[in-house]
Amino acid sequence: MVDHLANTEINSQRIAAVENCFGASGQPLALPGRVLLGEGILTKECRKKPKPRIFFLFNDILVYGSIIINKRKYNSQHIIPLEDVTLETLPDTLQMKNRWMIKTSKKSFVVSAASLTERKEWISHLEECIKHLLTKTGRQPCREPAAPWIPDKATDICMRCTHTKFSTLTRRHHCRKCGFVVCADCSRHRFLMPRLSPKPLRVCNLCYRQLLAEEKKEAEADRRQAEPIRSAVGYEPSSGDDSDKSDDEKAEQWPADTEFYTSAVSWSSFHS
């Protein structure tokens, strides 16, 4: 079907209509060989509350945005290369049904469809496009997807120290590494994660220590790899390098690798 629609007038008109709906705030979407396969409204689980979003599935990208006037005006355009996408079906909750997670190396988020059939169709078409692209390019699926942000309303207390209660004056923050909702005291550090952003991002204290340990481990591996080269050219490495202190602190109640979205346990039970 993709080959049949590519470079046809009807496909060009459909893509132009999407571009017009996003207006000057959106990026051009028309490219040779690009085909608009489908569109629909999905509910995206955002930080504050679930919100409807318009989604457009192309044969190489997934585009979504906020709805101002349906079929006429959208904004906040996001473009996701399908080669970077992996999917995970999620169980229903009391508030949301027909859920699945769209995971990429830069951002992961949960969406839900109006019906089980609609979810199956979205996932089927997405997987088919992803498989075709990976086969065509020879790339591997995304192995390190970004952690999805836990919604604000999922917890009333910090998910790290487990005693700071959020209020109007005590703000919620999100760790960019694990996605947990944490207080300011438990997320004082920032760390550079080039995969997510060119600027250092807020991380919780536990993730900060883990990232430092990983950075130190990588630096040590690089140093050992360079040892034979230094010996061959006849000089010794500097002895004045600094080293981080070993991390002997006890792990918090919620480990960094806890997979909340794949758990069938309710949020409140984690606070008991």
- For tokens 């080959």, name the residue: 3
At the fourth CATH level, the homologous superfamily of domain 149-222 is Zinc/RING finger domain, C3HC4 (zinc finger) (3.30.40.10)
Q: Would you place residue 235 in the very low, low, confident or very high pLDDT band (cuts 50, 70, 90)? A: very low
Tens of pLDDT, residue by residue over 108-159, are 999 999 999 999 999 999 999 999 999 988 888 888 899 999 999 889 999 9
Q: What are phi and psi of 43, to 5 degrees?
A: -95, 120
Q: Which CATH architecture is the domain 3-137 placed in?
A: Roll (2.30)
72 Cβ neighbours under 8 A, 6+ residues apart: 21
Which amino acid type is present at position 142?
C
- Write down the H helix ranges in 138-271: 205-233
Domain with CATH 2.30.29.30 in the chain: 3-137
Beta-sheet pairing, 50-58 with 36-45: antiparallel
Q: Which two tokens stand for residue 141?
A: 């699926």
**Closest of 182, 87, 93 to residue 125, by C-alpha:** 87
What is the spatial distance between Cα 196 and Cα 217, in angstroms, rounded to a whole number?
21
The total of other beta-carbon atoms located within 10 Å of residue 70's CB is 11
Tens of pLDDT, residue by residue over 12-49, are 999 999 999 999 989 999 999 999 999 999 999 998 89
**Closest of 95, 201, 205, 105 to residue 146, by C-alpha:** 105
- How large a percentage of the chain has pLDDT more than 90? 67
pTM (whole model) above 0.75: yes
* DSSP label at residue 201: E
- Residue 209 confidence (pLDDT) above 70: yes
Q: Which two tokens stand for residue 64?
A: 């979504």
Beta-sheet pairing, 61-69 with 50-58: antiparallel
If you count DSSP H runs as helices and E runs as strands, how many of each does the chain have, helices first?
4, 11
Domain with CATH 3.30.40.10 in the chain: 149-222
pLDDT at 246: 46
